[in-house]
Structure 1
Amino acid sequence: MSLMLYSNPMSRGRIARWMLEEVGQPYDVTYLDYGTGMKAADFLGVNPMGKVPTLVHDGVVVTEAAAICAYLADAFPDAGLAPPHGDPARAPYYRWMFFAAGPVEAAVTAKSLNLLPPADKGAMVGYGSFDGTIAALEKAVGAADPWLCGSQFTAADVYVGSQVNWGLMFKSMPASPVLQAYSERLIARPAYQRASALDDEAMQAKG
């Protein structure tokens, strides 16, 4: 069994690394530079988008951070990072992970780039409005007890939590008590702390 993560310590690859630490299986990391390593012909043969994170598991390629989280949860069920098939908790698991991968990321990115649509054009974008998207996120996180699937921490918390952590760090989301409390629970996890320390060390080594 081999797990190789192509990443950069200043990228969404940090999400995949956190997920790998939660899984608890041995893995390797290859760090790629933007514009050089990511656009090299050999890596483009793995991921034609030339982006990280990219995971290769026994020769199988998985890209996109949310997909990597969901894939790893299913590939290593003993880690308990996804509700079992048939469990009603599978619904919020999928719902909130892909809500964060779609509307949340799109709305936050649009706001950061001053590209939010006029109010009368909101129906043309998948998230509708930034305020509405954040309100829905806060409602989901506020109902977490303590996680999105109840008492079970899952890959959905890794992905949604990464969006929340970055949103608070870069001030692209409002620092509401609900989001802050969720973030505090997330960053207390040993796997999060291990992953962050490893990527921070790699970032410092790059200078």
Structure 2
Amino acid sequence: MAHEYTLALPFGGAVLIAYTSWIAFPAVHRPHGRAASCARTTQASDVTGACSKPVIRDGGATGHHPSQIHAGVAWWLGACLVVTQKASHLVVAHDGEAISTQYATRFARGAINALHYKCLVTALQDPTEPDELGLVTADLGSVPSAHISTTPSAEVTVALFDADGKPLTEESGLAAIRDLIAQDRVPIPVNDAARGTIEYRGKA
């Protein structure tokens, strides 16, 4: 049975934390433009929106859009993946659905805004299956990646992979990502020169 407690966040939401392997992301009810902490480098449109109980477990994050998850979550995950994997390069792909494309864009923006890593993000523009993503990351020299998909009922899944193409586990990064978000320590760039870049390409 999970033991839970609620952690209030300074930018206006709360995180429900369970001692098992999931976390609910914070709701952001009050847009602040360039808001506090995890949203300091993003526009209000990147982080606002009601968000109740998306969960991060089983190799990624999932929730119903927009009631449980919003595109700002993808920003946070992108930044946190870079830091936990110490990545100078990563790949983000999607299934071609409009919502997935929006999340992939936010994910890439978060990834280039992570501390001093100056990460290069390869954003695949074509609809891509997870196995195709694995081929791309292997071709690029084994780099971390994310695949974003959306069901017909608008349930969004952000699947995270390590440099070997394996789903992220508690030990390889999920637990650390949960801690960063729960403690309001989502990474931001140390200065303008530390921001990375996004390159767009097809999956072939």
Same fold? TM cut 0.5:
no
TM-score of Structure 1 vs Structure 2, range by shorter chain: 0.3 to 0.5
TM-score (norm 1): 0.32
As a proportion of its length, which structure holds more helix? Answer: 1
